[in-house]
Amino acid sequence: MVKTKEVTKKVTRKIHGIYCDDCGKRIHWDLQCSTTRCEYCKADLCEKCVAQEDYADGDYRIVYCAKCWDIVKPIKEKIIALEDEIDRLEKECIAKCGKRKKYVAVLVADKE
């Protein structure tokens, strides 16, 4: 006798993927340059959990998670202020020293 039985099978598939360390959502990175990994704590982040992105002209993105950005933001502001101060001091040296001569490019020809 031939009988047709209906069987319901439970299938468990293993999906390997990258998941956001902040919200647990799956992340799709097409290329290495689309990687969103926190600059400091190296957490993998989805677009939604990227708290801050710095301009980068290289082939990878500079992003920060919310936790690190909270810590880093005031420190970065201090760094920028110090860089401005270095600029100012460098200009002060130039202004105070003055110039004895205008810069002249000198070509020294090889003798013989």
For the chain, first and last CA: distance in Å? 110
Among 41, 80, 89, 94, binds Zn ion (CB under 5 A): 41
- Based on the shown chain and the rule CB under 5 A, indicate whether residue 38 belongs to the binding site for Zn ion: yes
Would you say the C-alpha torsion 68, 71, 77, 83 has a positive or negative sign? negative
Q: Which of 22, 36, 37, 61 binds Zn ion (CB under 5 A)?
A: 22
Give residue for tokens 């710095």.
54
Question: What letters, b where the CB count within 10 A reaches 16 and e where it falls short, cover 57-92?
Answer: eeeebebbbeebbeebeeeeeeeeeeeeeeeeeeee
Instruction: Identify the residue among 36, 37, 49, 63 touching Zn ion (CB under 5 A).
Output: 49
Q: Which helix (H) or strand (E) holds 92?
A: helix 66-97
For the bound state, the minimum distance from the C-beta of residue 32 to Zn ion, rounded and expressed in Å, comes to 19
Question: Per-residue string for binding with Zn ion, 52-91, x by CB under 5 A?
Answer: -------------x--x-----------------------
When the beta carbons of 47 and 83 are compared against Zn ion, the nearer one is 47
Smallest distance from the beta carbon of 53 to Zn ion, in angstroms? 13
DSSP for residue 103: -
Q: Which residues bind Zn ion (CB under 5 A)?
A: 20, 22-23, 25, 38, 40-41, 43, 46, 49, 65, 68
